[in-house]
Structure 1
Amino acid sequence: MMTDVLVAHSSEVEKADFYKKTYLHVALSILAFIGVETILLKTVPPEIIAMMFGQKYTWLLIIGVFWLASVLASKWSLSQSKSTQYLGLGFYILLEAVIFMPLLYIAVNMAGGAHVIFQAAMLTIAMFAGLSAVAFTSKRDFSFLRNVIIIGGFLSIGLIIAGAIFGFNLGLWFSVGMVILASASILYETSKLQNVYTTGQYVGASLQLFASIMLLFWYILRILMSRRS
């Protein structure tokens, strides 16, 4: 069972244990994502992957299902049951791997694709580390970013849907804006580690951080790929 003690009200030892478990789960989630993605790219036929980004309404359906399923996975990850928490985290990792398939398939098959993916991964890790350090050392409460993230999220979803329906390219500046939004999300989620979660909610906390990292990685990779095209 989870404790009801807020991390902010716990002892230094309990705080350190919570942070260690949270970031360990983030790291394991990334490794699991790499493993699942590798298997998918090797086993899923290219024709099926092409259908995901070749048909605009198919892609919209996938995005809709992903959004609904991610809400469910997030809810599971904060359950009182540890097995349900891990089910939510594992389900979300699988969802991310499926959503990333088309983008990574294109990246892998473009000239210098492996280098671009590696570069995007290193930039993502560096930005995540820097933003986490700011959130922990500044002692600021970044909860004010919540409304910015919600509004930005709805605007971005609206633009993505409009782009898919009407066939226009959102372009480089949209990707830059999404990198900023993902960075704000990392600051907000890191701030929540200190102020919102209880010491038993490290699985749910790791899922939220993992989601922000993957959003950041997606758009950094898109920016780097656009420079190669």
Structure 2
Amino acid sequence: MMTDVLVANSKDVEKASFYKKTYLHVAVSILLFIGVETVLLKVVPEQLILAMFAQRYAWLLIIGVFWLASVLATKWSLSQSKATQYFGLGFYILLEAVIFLPLIYIAIVYSGGQVIYQAAMLTLAMFAGISAVAFTSKRDFSFLRNIIVIGGFISLGLIVGGMLFGFNLGLWFSVGMVILASATILYQTSKLKDSYGVNQYVGASLQLFASIMLLFWYILSILMSRRS
């Protein structure tokens, strides 16, 4: 972690600058994700994309690699070197684009991309609403941490179990994950000032971006299930 003044202990001008830079980086990350995803859809063979869905053990490998790489990306994004920070954020954006590739492809095939737009608008609206609650409420949301950690382990176990034994987690699992992702955004937003220094906006944006993408994944999954 950088030896930096916590946002909570900084001046109002520095706080405002931190939040502005953090959310600007979140917005740019989303735009870069869209760009990378568009390129991948054009250059990755259709057979390879479909194989990511068809091979459940391949997905286990992908999830394992994704988890390890996410840890590294988060560590890099909090480095003292700005170049390393941006490398970590860029690396994570690429990982998300690869993970989303089969889901986005299927959504385009079945709906022509309309469902993707709907899911994106719902995700942004929920993110804006949750962020507004976090910034305007004086309530302490620290209690959400244990819920998020326990919920994360349970959901990961169910995902791995579903892949190993071939059972469908269903609509209610996706609804539960939307709630978990929303709680994570609420907790992370409320704790930004206590968790990061004024120059750690890249790391803060990575954490928020990751939660937004998790929310988007399951909202898109729900909308697609309603169309099938």
TM-score for the superposition, normalised by structure 1: 0.97
Determine if the alignment matches structure 1 residue 224 to structure 2 residue 202: no
Aligned to 2:153: 154
CA–CA distance in 2 between the matches of 1:101 and 1:54?
13
For 1:148 and 1:81, the matched residues in 2 are separated by: 33
The aligned residue for residue 76 of structure 2 is: 76
Is the Cα contact below 8 Å between 1:3 and 1:200 reproduced in 2?
no
Secondary structure of residue in 2 paired with 1:76: helix
Map of 1:126 onto structure 2: 125
The aligned counterpart of 2:34 is 34
Distance 1:157 1:34 in 2: 26
Between the aligned partners of 2:142 and 2:150, the Cα distance in structure 1 is 14
Q: 2: distance between equivalents of 1:43 and 1:76? A: 28
* Structure 1 stretches lacking a partner, 5+ long: none
The residue identity in structure 1 corresponding to 2:103 is L
**Does the aligned pair in 2 maintain the 1:3–1:199 contact within 8 Å?**
no
Query: What amino acid is aligned across from residue 120 of structure 2 in structure 1?
Result: A
Q: Distance in 1 between matches of 2:10 and 2:154?
A: 38
1:170 deviation in Å? 0.2
Alignment of 1:93-132 (within 5 A): 93-110=93-110, 112-132=111-131
**How is 1:38-57 mapped onto 2 (pairs within 5 angstroms)?**
38-57=38-57
Deviation of the 1:3 alpha carbon: 5.8
Task: Give % identity.
Answer: 79
CA distance in 1, matches of 2:16, 2:215: 26
1:125-161 Cα shifts (integer Å, max 9, x gaps): 0000000000000022222211111111111110001
State the match for 2:136 in structure 1: 137
Distance 1:4 1:121 in 2: 35
Unaligned ranges ≥5, structure 2: none
DSSP-derived class of the 1:143 partner: coil
Matched, 1:21 2:21: yes
Instruction: State the Cα deviation string for residues 170-193 of structure 1 (Å, max 9, x = none).
Output: 000000000000000100110121
Please give the root-mean-square deviation of Cα atoms over the aligned residues, in Å. 1.1
Tell me what 1:183 maps to: 182
Q: How many residues align?
A: 228
The two structures have a TM-score, normalised by structure 2, of 0.98
Name the CA distance, whole Å, in 2 between partners of 1:60 and 1:221. Answer: 21
Verify: 1:209 aligned to 2:208, yes or no: yes
In the alignment, the residues of structure 1 paired with residue 136 and residue 9 of structure 2 have an alpha-carbon distance, to the nearest angstrom, of: 18
Please list every run of at least 4 consecutive aligned residues from structure 1 whose deviation after the TM superposition is greater than 3 angstroms: none
| Equivalent residue, structure 1, for 2:199 | 200
